[in-house]
Amino acid sequence: MSNPEDITASITDILADILDLDPVQITPETYVVRDLRAESIDLLEIGVAMQHRLDMEVDDDTLFLKNMRQVLARAAKAGKAPEEAMTAEYPHLDRARIAEILADREGGPVIKVRDLAAYAADRAGDRED
């Protein structure tokens, strides 16, 4: 399943199931933590459900940008551009989204539904290669 719409629909279903929400409350622009109030236990379940339902290996650290602060701190120390470090660490995110994330960090956890979909599409693409 590499059709982006199918992937987004599957992720919406997973989030609705796990977080006990109506799927209409979930769009690609919805923040997973800020809007849907997912907690760490929920992220654990979302990762496992994606792995199971989308039949792909999932790395939670990458999927949920868990180490973003450390990645950026390391880049700053090494005198590297943050965009470059982010692209290397999170290859499923495009440049525009990385710029958005970097500008949005003060508002809390940045992860959006579309980031989960981008990760899944990237993994599905890998598998088909």
Partner 1 sequence: MARRVVITASGFILPLGSTPGEVLAALEAPHGPFERWAADRHVSVCPVARFDLRSYVGRCKNARYLTRGQQLCLAAAVRAVSEAGLGPHHLDRAGLFLGLGPNLQAVPREDKALWLLDCLPNTLAATLAEQLGLHGENLTIMTACAGSTQALGQAFRTVAAGLADVALAGGGDSRLSVEGVRAYRQAGVLATDFVRPEEACRPFDRDRSGFAIGEGAAMFVLESLEHATERGAKILAEVVGASSSLDGGSLTGPDPAGTSAARAVRQCLEKLGTRDLCVLAHGTGTVLNDEAEAAVLSGTVPNARAVCAFKSRMGHLASACGAAELAVGLVCAEAGRFPAIANLDNPAWPDLPLLRRPMALRPKNLLLQSFGFGGQNACLGLKKFKTGKDAA
Residues in the site for partner 1, rule: CB under 8 A?
17-21, 41-42, 44-45, 47-49, 52-53
Specify the residue, 18 or 113, whose C-beta has the smaller distance to partner 1.
Answer: 18
* The one-letter amino acid at 109: P
DSSP structural state of residue 21: -
Q: How far is the CB of 27 from partner 1 (least distance, A)?
A: 18
As a whole number of angstroms, the distance between CA 58 and CA 50 comes to: 7
**Which CA distances in Å does 104 have to 12, 62, 108?**
23, 18, 8
Specify the residue, 34 or 80, whose C-beta has the smaller distance to partner 1.
Answer: 34
DSSP structural state of residue 116: H
Specify the residue, 35 or 104, whose C-beta has the smaller distance to partner 1.
Answer: 35
* One-letter-per-residue 3-state SS of 59-81: CHHHHCCCCHHHHHHHHHHCCCC
Q: How far is the CB of 17 from partner 1 (least distance, A)?
A: 8
Specify the residue, 41 or 96, whose C-beta has the smaller distance to partner 1.
Answer: 41
Q: How far is the CB of 49 from partner 1 (least distance, A)?
A: 6
